[in-house]
Amino acid sequence: MLTSPLQLRGRSAPSRILFGPHVTNLGRGRALTERHVAYYAERAVGGCGVIVTEAASVHGSDRPYERAPLASSCRDGWRAIRAACPDTLVLAGLGHAGSQGSTAFTGQALWGASRVPDVVSREVPQVMEQPEIDALVAGFASAAAEAAAAGLDGVEIQAGQHSLLRQFLSGLTNHRPDTYGEDRSLLLREVVGAVRAALGPDHVLGLRLCCDELAPWAGITPTSAHALLTTPLPDLPASRALASRESRSELRRVAPSASASREFLQRESGAPGPRVGSSDPASRHVEDTESAVPGDAATLAQLVDYLVPVRGSGLTVPATRPDLHTPPGFNRPLARSFLGLGVPIVLQGSVVDPDMAEEELGAGVALVEMTRAQIADPRLVAHVRAGTPERIRPCTLANQHRARDPRNPLITDEAEPRSGHETLDPALPLEPNGAAGELLVVGGGPAGLEAARTAALYGHRVRLVERAPQLGGALRYAAAVHGRSRFGLLVEWWERELDRLGVEVTLGVEVGREDLTGDVVLATGSVPSPAALVAAPDVVVLPAGEFEAAVLAAAGPRRPSDPPTSEGTAAVLPAGTHVVVHDPIGDWTGVGIAEQVAAAGLPCALVTPDAVAGTQLSRTGDLAEANARLERAGVARELFTRLRSAGGGTALLTDVHHGAAREIPCTVVIDCAHRLPDDGLWRGHEGLLRGGHLATRAAGTPDSRCRNSRLAGAQSATRGGSQRDSGEHGARLAGAESATRGGSERGVAARLVVAGDCVAPRTVHEAVREGRRAVHCLRSSAGVVSAHGPSRDSSRVS
Amino acid sequence: MLHEPLHAGRLRLRNRVVFTAHLTGYATDGLPTPRHTAYYAARAAGGAGLVITEEHSVHRHDRPYEKLIRGHDPAVLPGYRALTDAVHAHGAVVLAQLNHNGPQSSGLYSREPVRGPSAVPDPMFREVPVAMTEADLDEVVAGYALTARHCVEGGFDGVELQCSHASLVRCFLSPATNHRDDAYGGTLENRARLLLRIVAAVRRELGDRVLGVRLGGEEGIEGGIGLDEGVALARLLEGTGEVDHLNTSIGVATASLHLIEASMHTPADYATFIPSAIRAAVRVPVIAVGRFTEPAVAEQALVEGHCDVVGVARGQIASPDFAAPGGPTRVCVGCNQECVGRVGMNQPLGCAVNPRAGHESVALPMPAVPRRVIVAGGGPAGLRAAATAAGRGHRVTLYERGRLGGQLALAALAPGRGELAHVVRDLVAECERAGVEIVRGEPGDLGGADVVVLATGARPARRWPGALDVRDVLDGAAAPTGAVLVVDELGFHHATSVAELLAARGCTVEIVTPGMVVGQDLGLTLDREGFRRRAHAAGIRLTTDRLVTAVEPGRVTLVHHPTGRTETREVDAVVCAVPAEPDDALWSTLRDRPGVHRIGDCLAPRRMDAALRDGERLAVNL
């Protein structure tokens, strides 16, 4: 059913999966670009049924972020997307962020329903008067007309998160004394009417509507949303208070007047007919459901072709697309409660699993929005269609690569770095092809796993050697952090992929320099850095990774996505322990570990130099909630603070600004500081290729003299003296015998490329990117292996 | 002395004022833009002797922020030529600043790991750098040479190497970030090896053009470069015979930025000890920087022999004619709202007191018909609108019933915020020069006006009976004593400065906010560190995550919203910093009259920059 077509306004969507509107930063100025085209085309080719493009502002007063599209600048982009997605329904997302916008790029006051400052920006908006309201309605209508003229199948009106239309609907933000306050849905009805009139009967009009602001004291509730959708529409006030103003004629020029659109609507709704249809018998009851509503009096629900119920207000922005702390499919009850209103319902809300989508389609929803799941894997629908859903790359829902950030990052995914970079990064083969040479991958963390997978897809015979008894590397530990078990799904996916692609995996074997022969990708990960604090012998200092390794060991064998129990944590931290989590980075690790410790029932403090805990979580949307969770869990947040030393049962803290010192109880420090590269195998190696990501045009060999002597103590590997002078070109395969080398290596030709944390410890995203890049680098460099034949003696490794 | 020429070797300047390098965020796709050209040309036209552009990156892996000029890319050349021609046309010397940010950077845009002397993560970017190999260093040196070549071809008179506060070279120089045990680490000579290689390579490209070096003399971080090493480095550089000027700097951009771009709370001239010490040790010209807000302060630094040239960045952003014989039309007050505050948020640089800054490339044709303009309200929005409109030939009368300067004049009464009064002083002077008629009182007959501008401001919101507004404290209407709770919903200086005022008067003060941080936006203007130090010293208690639910005599009820826990405070007074209400009574009577406009707080209560911008925008469109 997920893969069966769906009819909307006589237009056919090839599947029941929708790619929702979201910020991409792929624009230039305020226009859509070839990057957008490639991004959406990738999802269309992958089988997506309906694509709603990045929401475009319908009026110049709105520029919620620098690269927010402006509808009047989108015509060419919409056309190009249309052409690139011929079989998919493509709708233009249209909106106005109102008081949730930004003044940074317009320099003008925000527009709002009332003088209620946005919680995040604290900007007080200008209260819209009739001219602004008229301009807004006209803007929606002309943008819709523009989208239709560009060949799109229709539009989706944004009345969900970040929308002026929601702000008018909500008692939180609409305190107006006029008709738009007495009837808070009036503006939405005017906009829907004007857009329908502009689109005509043959185009799709979708509505993304906030149906629960999670603020029952004044906000939209499911009950009020239900009433809004089902109350028979009053006649739109054709002679609105200020209808005689100049702007009215302006409006009329762009779009038929409200009364005209009302006539149009009545004409349309006179013969509503089933607007959802399918050749799939399993979906019949959907038609039944949708046509079951008697339809004499038109309701708002009947004026639109589909409804996406979403949740969240300006007080709870992250609740709309929450991170992995919220279970997938959280909106299922909400969506189901809107079935039977005569309008097809789209289920939105962290849906990432095709089985869940299938189940909800069976229960009567018409479409399922799977936006982040298709950022993670553009071929999601194609895999379902092919009967290979196990090959879908899991979506972590971690939101770590969300584009809504002042730095304007491009949209992408934790484990699919090509997303958002379709015009920059080459596509990988879909199936193994060709017959390339052999490749040794050292290290079974994300970088090594993705290198092995990539090489196998290019037809290499791949052998992956991992020193641990299982695959996953640091990702297993990352997935053990409280609330982050979805990261384990990636490990399980890579295990399936390597198995499918016939990669030979050797576990529990340490690789030495002498084992590096032929083409090699080194992805040996990281080691802890020495603790930055002074710790007395009576204090246990555990690096975060080693802490989670111990917890996993204590918790016993389990799938990577199966989080360790509190007992596992408690086994590592005995009763009576006072834990101080040292977090100089401010990402998800310190916060998660503090929650983990608290969940095990132990007193815990989180020490951060920042103003808040987990400062980097502002990008994921979890910042405020993470801090609130810590408060509720009883974790002491030691803000603006440095951990200086620990011993004798206490830790000494100082304020980062005024230096005042204080002591807190402490017997164990869990250190979430940066790790250091485990680069012993590659530093100074002559066969190192530059071009993966270590340097570019000029090639050269790293020199062990540059090792960081103060920090090197933490690392096991040490090597002989300097190997080479600068300027020699490592891209050439080094001579077999290197007189100055440490001596244990044999004269075996090798080409090395390095990837991931063994270069610089970062996240899974960089590891995947570099794992792929390593293989591309080997493939595009002069083929040593083909020149010399397959590498010799590789069986020595085991 | 400020207006005397400088002839020192290759450096020949018409006066001693330099527009020093600073990020603008005007680049698009890595290239300089017409916006850059107009921006720098305006300072040259205003009289600057030397313009040093923002940094040009020398290597493609170096992309610390989005709107960076990629000097290593030959596509910059047309932009370079346009920029240098425009500056030269006004008689100024123009240098490009060259830089590689090393580990003070991110892989977000480059999609590469960052690189540095050692695997020591930067305190702000927090990415572990790859310890650079000799080959990496060769590549960087070659990148400097290539970029210098582009600068020569693009018409620059030379370059300045950024070796202070945000650079790979700094990270090599500083023991805090250089932990190497090879020829590039350890002794000062070793740590300076990369710098000296770059100097030699760049000199080869420059011929007899100017080569300057910007050095730090006090990093303000643990284990960083101090004054002694700064002076030793200066001697080392002079010894090469290749360096034509030494510029100076204080702080580290990613650790102690508040030292570099010090706000209004820091006295002018605060960093002069660094050039002073260096100048005493070398013969090459030395540039001083550090909040030279008025020409007299710059003059004094020169006369006292602390430096040969004075760097004025923010002063010339605020007033491009800083170096003109008649002096600046307005001064920078160190508010940091639109320069530092915007650039830090990846937004193009602007200026709170000069709405034209960064918009110099937009032509403003003079109006065809002079109009009769009445401005109601003499706060920042009204004064700005009046001055600009009158300057463009309109006949302007401004009515103010109370004090000129509006809330800005009040805010200037708070401790450390006194320079805000200069904004009012400068606006009033501009109005007077432009011929604005300023009338004390309410606007009377509007009959003769073509345009009526309502700039009537905002009044305090009286949310709880008995609670005071920050304005009541500042204007003396109330003088609370004892225990005072300051309720902050604005997140800026309103609450924090009044809290400081009350603490200084002996009150016991607590600031409470529903937000996650007290004075959240003080971070944008680099005032947070100073405020927290002063608040600690004054015993001001800072409390977050609390909503006020009830204010009764002597008692306030709060809810800690993450947990729902209720708390109470026994207090003698409550002072509110909450959103104000537009004072728009005139609008409700005049809205249907043609030619009536609202600007500033009476449209939507916002900050100083918005008021001035509204006034400027309206006036140039009349």
CB contacts < 8 A (A, B)? 192
The per-residue pLDDT for A436 is 86
Task: Kindly tell me the burial class for residue A293, based on how many C-beta atoms sit within 10 Å of its own C-beta (0-12, 13-18, 19 or more).
Answer: middle
Phi, psi of B575 (to 5 degrees): -120, 125
Beta bridge partners of A505: A464
Residues B292, B296, B301, B307, CA torsion sign? positive
Q: Which of A296-300, B172-176, B191-195, B512-516 has the weakest average pLDDT?
A: A296-300
Q: B278 to chain A, minimum CA–CA distance in Å? A: 29
The per-residue pLDDT for A749 is 84
**pLDDT (mean) for A359-388:** 98
The per-residue pLDDT for B85 is 98
Q: Measure CB to CB from residue A407 to each of B108, B603, B610 and give the nearest one.
A: B108
Q: Measure CB to CB from residue A711 to each of B142, B179, B342 and give the nearest one.
A: B179
- Which of the four pLDDT bands, split at 50, 70 and 90, describes residue B220? confident
What does the block give as tokens for A562?
């199966």
Query: How do residues A115-129 score in pLDDT, each as one tens digit?
Result: 999 999 999 999 999
CA distance A704 to A683: 6
Give percent of chain A with pLDDT exceeding 90. Answer: 80
Judging contacts by C-beta atoms under 8 Å, the chain B residues touching residue A110 are 604
- Which of the four pLDDT bands, split at 50, 70 and 90, describes residue A733? very low
Q: B114 to chain A, minimum CA–CA distance in Å? A: 8
DSSP state of A410: P
Query: How do residues A41-62 score in pLDDT, each as one tens digit?
Result: 999 999 999 999 999 999 999 9
CB-CB neighbours of A620 under 10 Å: 24
Closest CA to A590 of A567, A616, A620: A616
The per-residue pLDDT for A566 is 93
Alpha helices in A233-366 (DSSP H): 246-254, 258-270, 284-291, 300-303, 332-336, 354-362
Helix, strand, or coil here: A658? coil
What is the residue type of A242? Answer: L
- Which of the four pLDDT bands, split at 50, 70 and 90, describes residue B446? confident
Q: A253 to chain B, minimum CA–CA distance in Å? A: 22
- Which of B100, B105, B128, B193 has the highest number of chain A CBs within 10 A, making it the mutation to test binding with A? B128
Q: Measure CB to CB from residue B347 to each of A104, A585, A709 and give the nearest one.
A: A104
Q: Do B180 and A708 touch (CB under 8 A)?
A: yes
Containing H/E element for B131? strand B130-131
Chain A residue whose CA is closest to B221: A656
Q: Which residue has the tokens 């140039």?
A: B620
Q: Do A631 and B108 touch (CB under 8 A)?
A: no
The per-residue pLDDT for A384 is 98
Tell me the pTM. 0.91
Judging contacts by C-beta atoms under 8 Å, the chain A residues touching residue B516 are 611-612, 623-624, 627
Chain B residue whose CA is closest to A611: B517
The per-residue pLDDT for A433 is 83
Give this complex's ipTM: 0.96
The per-residue pLDDT for A236 is 56
CA distance B576 to B198: 56
CB-CB neighbours of A549 under 10 Å: 18
Closest CA to B597 of B477, B397, B451: B451
**pLDDT (mean) for A411-419:** 98
Q: Do A708 and B119 touch (CB under 8 A)?
A: yes
**pLDDT (mean) for B429-447:** 93
Residue-by-residue DSSP string for A26-76: --BTTB--HHHHHHHHHHHHTT-SEEEPPPEESSTT--SSTT--BGGG-HH
Q: Measure CB to CB from residue A628 to each of B132, B134, B562 and give the nearest one.
A: B562
Q: Do B181 and A705 touch (CB under 8 A)?
A: yes
Judging contacts by C-beta atoms under 8 Å, the chain A residues touching residue B187 are none
Judging contacts by C-beta atoms under 8 Å, the chain A residues touching residue B65 are 407
Contact B48, B322 (CB under 8 A): yes
CB-CB neighbours of B506 under 10 Å: 9
Chain B residue whose CA is closest to A657: B529
Q: A75 to chain B, minimum CA–CA distance in Å? A: 23
What does the block give as tokens for B338?
């639109």
Angle, helices A34-45 vs A75-84, to 10°: value is 30
Q: B168 to chain A, minimum CA–CA distance in Å? A: 15
Asked whether the predicted pLDDT for residue A783 surpasses 90, the reply is no
Judging contacts by C-beta atoms under 8 Å, the chain B residues touching residue A709 are 179-181, 185
Chain A residue whose CA is closest to B220: A657
What does the block give as tokens for A79?
């056309």
Q: How far is CA A475 from CA A547, A549, A585, in A?
A: 14, 11, 18
| Long-range contact pairs involving A374-377 (C-beta distance under 8 Å, separation at least 24) | A374/A17, A374/A19, A374/A43, A374/A46, A374/A48, A375/A411, A375/A412, A375/A413, A375/A416, A375/A419, A375/A420, A376/A352, A376/A413, A376/A414, A376/A415, A376/A416, A376/A419, A377/A46, A377/A416
The contacts of residue A6 (CB under 8 Å, 6+ apart) are A12, A13, A15, A16, A49, A276, A277, A278, A283, A344, A366, A367
CA atoms within 13 A on the CB side of A514: 9
- Which of B31, B61, B125, B134 has the highest number of chain A CBs within 10 A, making it the mutation to test binding with A? B134
The per-residue pLDDT for B256 is 87
Q: B139 to chain A, minimum CA–CA distance in Å? A: 7
Helix, strand, or coil here: A446? helix
The per-residue pLDDT for A748 is 54
Q: Do A640 and B581 touch (CB under 8 A)?
A: no
Query: How do residues A608-635 score in pLDDT, each as one tens digit?
Result: 999 999 999 999 999 999 999 999 999 9
Q: Which residue has the tokens 């080392």?
A: B236
Judging contacts by C-beta atoms under 8 Å, the chain A residues touching residue B561 are 628
Closest CA to A524 of A456, A448, A596, A576: A448
Q: Measure CB to CB from residue A657 to each of B138, B533, B579 and give the nearest one.
A: B533
**pLDDT (mean) for B422-437:** 98
Q: A261 to chain B, minimum CA–CA distance in Å? A: 28
Q: Which residue has the tokens 């100048």?
A: B279
Q: Which of A314-318, A332-336, A557-561, B216-220 has the weakest average pLDDT?
A: B216-220
**pLDDT (mean) for A452-473:** 97
CA atoms within 13 A on the CB side of A14: 17
Q: Measure CB to CB from residue B130 to each of A657, A697, A760 and give the nearest one.
A: A760
- Which of A25, A122, A316, A630 has the highest number of chain B CBs within 10 A, making it the mutation to test binding with B? A122
- Which of A119, A706, A762, A769 has the highest number of chain B CBs within 10 A, making it the mutation to test binding with B? A706
Judging contacts by C-beta atoms under 8 Å, the chain A residues touching residue B142 are 698
Q: A327 to chain B, minimum CA–CA distance in Å? A: 20
Asked whether the predicted pLDDT for residue B110 surpasses 50, the reply is yes
Give percent of chain B with pLDDT exceeding 70. Answer: 100
Q: Measure CB to CB from residue A107 to each of B120, B605, B613 and give the nearest one.
A: B613
Query: How do residues B299-339 score in pLDDT, each as one tens digit?
Result: 999 999 999 999 999 999 999 999 999 989 999 999 999 99
How far from each other are the two terminal CA atoms of chain B, in whole angstroms? Answer: 42
Query: How do residues A282-318 score in pLDDT, each as one tens digit?
Result: 333 333 333 333 334 489 998 999 999 999 999 999 9
**The Cα angle at residue B235 between residues B230 and B236, in degrees rounded to 5:** 95
What does the block give as tokens for A332?
């299922």
Q: Do A658 and B185 touch (CB under 8 A)?
A: no
The per-residue pLDDT for A763 is 97
Beginning with the edge strand found earlier in the chain, give each strand of the sheet holding A504-507 in spatial order. A504-507, A461-466, A438-442, A518-522, A750-754
Give percent of chain A with pLDDT exceeding 70. Answer: 83
**pLDDT (mean) for A261-278:** 38
What does the block give as tokens for B200?
């030699």
Asked whether the predicted pLDDT for residue A735 surpasses 90, the reply is no
Helix, strand, or coil here: A306? strand
Asked whether the predicted pLDDT for residue A39 surpasses 50, the reply is yes
Chain A residue whose CA is closest to B615: A108
Contact A675, A526 (CB under 8 A): yes
Closest CA to A402 of A622, A561, A610: A622
Q: Measure CB to CB from residue A117 to each of B180, B528, B579 and give the nearest one.
A: B579
Asked whether the predicted pLDDT for residue A790 surpasses 90, the reply is no
The per-residue pLDDT for A706 is 32
